[in-house]
Structure 1
Amino acid sequence: MQTLTDADIFAAGDIGAVVDHPRPKAGVFAVRQGPPLTENIRLRLLGEAAKPFRPQEKFLSLISTGDKCAVVSRGNWAAEGAWAWRWKDFIDQRFMQKFNKLPEMYPAKMDQDVHLDPRLVGAEHAAELVRAGVSEIGDLPKGLTDTEKALGAISTFVMRCGGCGSKVGSTMLDRVLAELAPSSRSDVVIGLDEPDDAAVVNVPEGKQLVQSVDFFRSFIGDPFVFGKVAANHALGDIFAMGAEPQTALATVTIPYGVESKVEADLLQLLSGALNVLSTENTALVGGHTSEGSELALGLTVTGFVDAGTAMRKSGMNTGDILVLTKPLGTGALFAADMRCKAKGRWVCAALCSMTQSNRAAADCFIGYGTTAMTDVSGFGLLGHLVEMTKASGVATTVTLDIVPALEGTLEVMDKGIFSSLHAENVRLRRAISGLEKAARNPVYPLIFDPQTAGGLLASVPADNAESCVNALRELGYGSAIAIGEVREADAGQPAIQLLV
């Protein structure tokens, strides 16, 4: 499976033909080539000789005739019938189940000895040579580093400096920034297009600054989409305060790697963030980019609001109606996705929700006289509701069964899959009355689920609540719903009552 023209290129399946051993283009050969292909690629990387491969001469063929019958053959023998189709269906279903039912992944136990493949010693030896300052390609194991490009790739993963030595190089950063087109604002005096040490912005007269920062590591493999989600999440705090975003500073951690890959990931990440920031007329005015083990993005967002008009969590009044704009479940769904237990459509729907801006919802709430507002994020619905009731000196009643959930959330929770922050959020259950009955409801775990780029939770005067919900739905928040009401606090009693 090693090509004749290049020892570093391998082929398997229909795209390759085995010299001296011609075989039909059948799936059975492609499947059987997998293990020896993996083995020989490893040997090549370690500079060792590849093992010869000879495909089987006889194989079983099962071809459906389209009427739940099939033809079966092996060598000179052949037969047909419905039994052959059932045989083929059994084999096909068993094969596909390997992709639908993946084995569980368990974290490594660091207190136990971990078995290492002895052949990896070759790679470790190469890394030690690089650390020692080896400059001649011939000094490294043959096959592992045949070119200067390969040597550079290896050196990428050895000792990395801290401090400012961990920053991404200026040349690469300049190339990335040249590809971007951040939005500009007239109130930004010195921004990203200038070489100065800090940004300078004007604050409109009669305005107060509103500032917030968010930072977290990536949970998906697409840097562009992650950039969009992170930017939307960071802006949520500004909108929840009823403010207008003005500028943003980015803090990026980019994984160690070959320069071309690092540059591509950084470009995609910042392009995704700018896609959202530009839509919201928010100027990216600077930031810091450093190396790390995982891709992460943080944004410090600055906005402004008319003096004395910022929305707070502390304004809830007895009789107000609690309105939620987006469904819950991002924490559990992406925990399931990490285990390959989430369906594609569930993840896609969650990402659509996470990239939906909260600006229009915030404006709508303010227009209908909302008294208090917050965005639902890491502490979950219950955690943020606890903050609001405590700050306002009131209690609330929530109808558990109508709290909206993203598709698939309750299903993965029923399987015991939760976010790693879920258990910490559950500690707030002491704020709930009627806990014993509520805990038996399948929706109960949902209120503890940490949200990324979640929706807004607001208290709206009862007379305006129905019109507000209808307006939110017309604005594209299809899951917007009134989930409860604000009531007077009872001394010595939990502040949140769950109705089931």
Structure 2
Amino acid sequence: MRHPRLEIQGNLIGMNERLPSRHVVLLGIGHTNAHILRRYAMQGIEDTALTCISNFNVATYSGMMPAVLAGQVPQAKMNIDLVRLCASAGARLITEAVTGLDPSARKIIFQHRPPMPYDVLSIGIGSTAASDHIDLTSEHVVQIKPMQTFLHRLQQTLQNLRQRFADRTLKIAVVGSGAAGVEIACCLPAFLEQNWKGNFDLSVVTRSKQILANSNPATQRLALNELRRRSISTFTSTSIKSIQPETLTTEDGTEIPADLVIWSTGAAAPQLLSQLDLETDDRGFLLTLPTLQSTTHPHVFAVGDSGTMQKSPTPKAGVYAVRQGPVLWENLQRALDGTPLVKYRPQRSFLQLLNTGDGSAIGQWRGMSKSSRWLMRLKTLIDSKFMKMYEPIQMADDEPMQCRGCGCKVGAGLLNSALPSAGDIQFDDAAEVGKTLDYKIVASTDFFTSPFMDPYLTGRVAALHAASDIVASGATPKHALSNVVVPEGPAGPQQSTLCELLAGAKREFDAMGAAIVGGHTIEGPRLEIGFTVIGNALGDSLLEKQNLKAGDGLYITKPLGIGVLLAAHMRGRCSADHYSLLVAAMLERQHKYAELAVNSGVTAGTDITGFGLAGHLLEMLDASHVGATLQLNHVPRLGGATDAIAAGIQSSLAPSNRLAVAQVEASKTIRQDTCFDLLFDPQTCGGLLLGMSDENADKIQPSVRGIQLRPLVKIGTVDSIAAGSRPLKIV
């Protein structure tokens, strides 16, 4: 059977149309909820928004973990990229901690952001490994879950152990003998050959009487023979009492050598399930009806390991979660429409395939068991087809798209031609509007179209971006007035959008010591937000663009690439890893640099925003009547930015910014470097560009590190300029 692949929805990123009246939320993106996201990407649900909440930007397919461990496939092959999948689906992705649920009010409670209303909620946060009340916090214990971080944690632990046990055989105990434990034991040797490169002994420890206790005897024998063939010891009917350095202590007092413990026991309910005010079974999993609805709140569904059907419970296995997907997709729509729901009927048996790490697999099907290489080929085919269903197709590179954030700013050429015709008006990024006996008062304004589906994140970014000119002038923000355009739609979604938007902004203004004191809100075709920010100067004079002096070093506080990565994200082509770097860079607060700059001999400064580094630097050079030389290989860039440029992706403002190349001297080789294009990339929440002597820069760096700011990076030097020469030279 050929599975259809995902296609890009028309409304990819941002809110361009009327707000939907209905809201489906997926809490946790396991196998079942991932199916909903996939189907939503393919066909959507009329008048319905979708939000995905996950602790991570990727969802891990557990079926491929052993193959990654054995080095048979790269790690990326086991991850579903939720950032790209949500971008292609026009769904919102939130990676913040949920702390509770108000099922009666239909609201999800977060640690930081406002409660989120929903019409229908599906909970699929999986399970954890049962601890049996044993302390698992020791540094030599690696729990298999969360799987998204398992390999990284395992590598880090091995590095730490190498410093202590490099000269002797490493003793490793895998605790748990279910399918996961057996596969880990079989596939771990290949991983150790690459990451330990020394001698090791492996053992499997289980309190069950046999390994693979839920499998048939023939499968158990095949697995046991495989472990013995690998000289992997097995300890059955062995209950662990405690974990000590270098040993496991059992209930009968036996000590099993264990320098490294990999914890892969049976399923236990995550702590969060007990905080949701929903009925649970005696193990803490959510009780459901055959329709997968909660037994106490019909607008809440529990799927995968998170749920237990009240009258016909099934084992906690991914195969059941996968089969629940189509039923959940149907029932979510029926719940929204108020029509009768369908029942989920679990399969009576399923094909079990265990990767033994050597190119073979052990298979069990309806009482039959076998080990062979062709079974491994079958497993690889099944797993690959499953993962291929979650590969989104990105938007075509040549399809026109107006960028958001600072990418929707008009170009410098248009501004420079229009503003002089407006009359005798002073145009400053941050203008002095008054003074007291103690300080000058400055004001600035900025706004943009939302670059994200998440209003809360948009509010945070908008606050930081609007305050940037105040910070760059050497002032501290004190007050802000908002200007918001909320998309048309029902009152409920509008209220929720506005609440999240302003709550996100308030979080950042609070951190800066500023307050939102007023604003104005209207309806419009898409979500837009901006702030007028008022601040107090920190010194006797403001930092300005025109005071650069020959010999000054040029320093920046953030890497470049925000604009092109936002453009890639809008096209569904920004990976989860690169998106994390992008958002983290945008949310780096810059206000603490202002006080350091004022008190440390900074001669001139500006922020790097819509016109890109080259455009804003040229403004400074022109105002200061100097030139500059930039060293291209010294300019920091975000991961994925140059790859995106090489792939032909760019912000819609970049071509206008690139007109400034007429003022740039650079060789053909430099101009063909993808990093050269980053100089013209518009930055939303970009860093600061500061001019100062190298001596003063050296003095400021310890203070920068002391308050945990990103160190200043020198990218060039200010020069005197000869008449008729181009002011900016790139080498």
Alpha-carbon distance, 1:441 to partner: 2.2
Alignment partner, residue 90 of structure 1: 381
Tell me the secondary structure at the aligned position of residue 419 of structure 1.
Answer: coil
How many equivalent pairs are there? 407
The amino acid that maps onto 1:88 is K
Structure 2, unmatched stretches of 5+, are 1-289, 401-432
Alpha-carbon distance, 1:336 to partner: 2.4
- Report matched runs for 1:148-187 at 5 Å: none
Alignment partner, residue 103 of structure 1: 393
Alignment partner, residue 361 of structure 1: 593
Alignment partner, residue 145 of structure 1: none
The amino acid that maps onto 1:251 is N
CA deviation digits over 1:244-276, x for unaligned, max 9? Answer: 323110112233344333333322221221122
8 Å CA contact retained: 1:60, 1:74: yes
Alpha-carbon distance, 1:73 to partner: 5.0
Alignment partner, residue 383 of structure 1: 615
The amino acid that maps onto 2:599 is G
Query: Equivalent pairs: percent with the same residue?
Result: 36
Alpha-carbon distance, 1:482 to partner: 1.1
Alpha-carbon distance, 1:481 to partner: 1.1
Shift in CA distance, 105/32, structure 1 to aligned 2, threshold 3 Å: farther
8 Å CA contact retained: 1:224, 1:272: yes
8 Å CA contact retained: 1:228, 1:275: yes
Alpha-carbon distance, 1:46 to partner: 8.1
- Compute the TM-score of the two structures, normalised by the length of structure 2: 0.49
Pair 1:220-2:452 in alignment: yes
CA deviation digits over 1:37-78, x for unaligned, max 9? Answer: 657866897899999999999975434457654233556765
8 Å CA contact retained: 2:397, 2:648: no
Supply the distance in 1 between the matched residues of 2:568 and 2:681 (Cα, whole angstroms). Answer: 13
Tell me the secondary structure at the aligned position of residue 468 of structure 1.
Answer: helix
Shift in CA distance, 66/313, structure 1 to aligned 2, threshold 3 Å: same
Alignment partner, residue 246 of structure 1: 478
Supply the distance in 2 between the matched residues of 1:274 and 1:76 (Cα, whole angstroms). Answer: 61
Supply the distance in 1 between the matched residues of 2:330 and 2:398 (Cα, whole angstroms). Answer: 24
Alignment partner, residue 575 of structure 2: 343
The amino acid that maps onto 1:89 is T
Shift in CA distance, 453/305, structure 1 to aligned 2, threshold 3 Å: same
Tell me the secondary structure at the aligned position of residue 356 of structure 1.
Answer: coil
The amino acid that maps onto 1:316 is L
Pair 1:301-2:592 in alignment: no
- Report matched runs for 1:121-270 at 5 Å: 204-205=436-437, 207-270=439-502
Alignment partner, residue 9 of structure 2: none
Alignment partner, residue 543 of structure 2: 311
The amino acid that maps onto 1:324 is I
Pair 1:466-2:709 in alignment: no
Alignment partner, residue 563 of structure 2: 331
Alignment partner, residue 655 of structure 2: 423
CA deviation digits over 1:173-197, x for unaligned, max 9? Answer: xxxxxxxxxxxxxxxxxxxxxxxxx
Shift in CA distance, 315/60, structure 1 to aligned 2, threshold 3 Å: same
Alpha-carbon distance, 1:420 to partner: 2.4
The amino acid that maps onto 2:481 is L
Q: Hey, which of these two has a bigger chunk of strand by percent? A: 2
Tell me the secondary structure at the aligned position of residue 327 of structure 1.
Answer: coil
Supply the distance in 2 between the matched residues of 1:463 and 1:108 (Cα, whole angstroms). Answer: 48
Shift in CA distance, 272/49, structure 1 to aligned 2, threshold 3 Å: closer
8 Å CA contact retained: 2:606, 2:689: yes
The amino acid that maps onto 1:407 is G
Deviates more, 1:450-459 or 1:335-344: 335-344
Alignment partner, residue 156 of structure 1: none
Supply the distance in 1 between the matched residues of 2:599 and 2:503 (Cα, whole angstroms). Answer: 33
Shift in CA distance, 299/7, structure 1 to aligned 2, threshold 3 Å: closer
Alignment partner, residue 142 of structure 1: none
Pair 1:486-2:718 in alignment: yes
Deviates more, 1:206-215 or 1:41-50: 41-50
Supply the distance in 2 between the matched residues of 1:489 and 1:434 (Cα, whole angstroms). Answer: 16
Alpha-carbon distance, 1:494 to partner: 1.5
CA deviation digits over 1:20-49, x for unaligned, max 9? Answer: x99998756765665686578668978999
Alpha-carbon distance, 1:93 to partner: 3.1
Supply the distance in 1 between the matched residues of 2:395 and 2:629 (Cα, whole angstroms). Answer: 39
Shift in CA distance, 277/36, structure 1 to aligned 2, threshold 3 Å: closer
Alpha-carbon distance, 1:455 to partner: 1.2
- Report matched runs for 1:2-41 at 5 Å: 31=322, 38=329
Alignment partner, residue 115 of structure 1: none
Deviates more, 1:319-328 or 1:330-339: 330-339
Pair 1:439-2:666 in alignment: no
8 Å CA contact retained: 1:246, 1:281: yes
Alpha-carbon distance, 1:303 to partner: 1.9
Deviates more, 1:417-426 or 1:40-49: 40-49
Alignment partner, residue 370 of structure 2: 79
Alignment partner, residue 70 of structure 1: 361
Tell me the secondary structure at the aligned position of residue 500 of structure 2.
Answer: helix
The amino acid that maps onto 1:444 is F
8 Å CA contact retained: 1:376, 1:455: yes
Supply the distance in 1 between the matched residues of 2:438 and 2:303 (Cα, whole angstroms). Answer: 68
Shift in CA distance, 89/466, structure 1 to aligned 2, threshold 3 Å: same
* Matching residue within 281, 290, 293 for 2:522: 290
The amino acid that maps onto 1:256 is E
Alpha-carbon distance, 1:16 to partner: 8.8
Q: Hey, which of these two has a bigger chunk of helix by percent? A: 1
Deviates more, 1:53-62 or 1:260-269: 53-62
The amino acid that maps onto 2:492 is S
Alpha-carbon distance, 1:366 to partner: 2.1
Shift in CA distance, 278/56, structure 1 to aligned 2, threshold 3 Å: closer
Alpha-carbon distance, 1:437 to partner: 2.3
Tell me the secondary structure at the aligned position of residue 689 of structure 2.
Answer: strand
Structure 1, unmatched stretches of 5+, are 111-200
Alpha-carbon distance, 1:378 to partner: 1.2
CA deviation digits over 1:260-309, x for unaligned, max 9? Answer: 33333322221221122122222211001223343332110112338971
Pair 1:401-2:401 in alignment: no
Supply the distance in 2 between the matched residues of 1:37 and 1:283 (Cα, whole angstroms). Answer: 44
Alignment partner, residue 174 of structure 1: none
Alignment partner, residue 185 of structure 1: none
Supply the distance in 1 between the matched residues of 2:552 and 2:434 (Cα, whole angstroms). Answer: 38
8 Å CA contact retained: 2:359, 2:376: yes
Supply the distance in 1 between the matched residues of 2:537 and 2:349 (Cα, whole angstroms). Answer: 76
Shift in CA distance, 328/66, structure 1 to aligned 2, threshold 3 Å: same
Supply the distance in 1 between the matched residues of 2:674 and 2:724 (Cα, whole angstroms). Answer: 28
8 Å CA contact retained: 1:2, 1:9: no
8 Å CA contact retained: 2:666, 2:730: yes
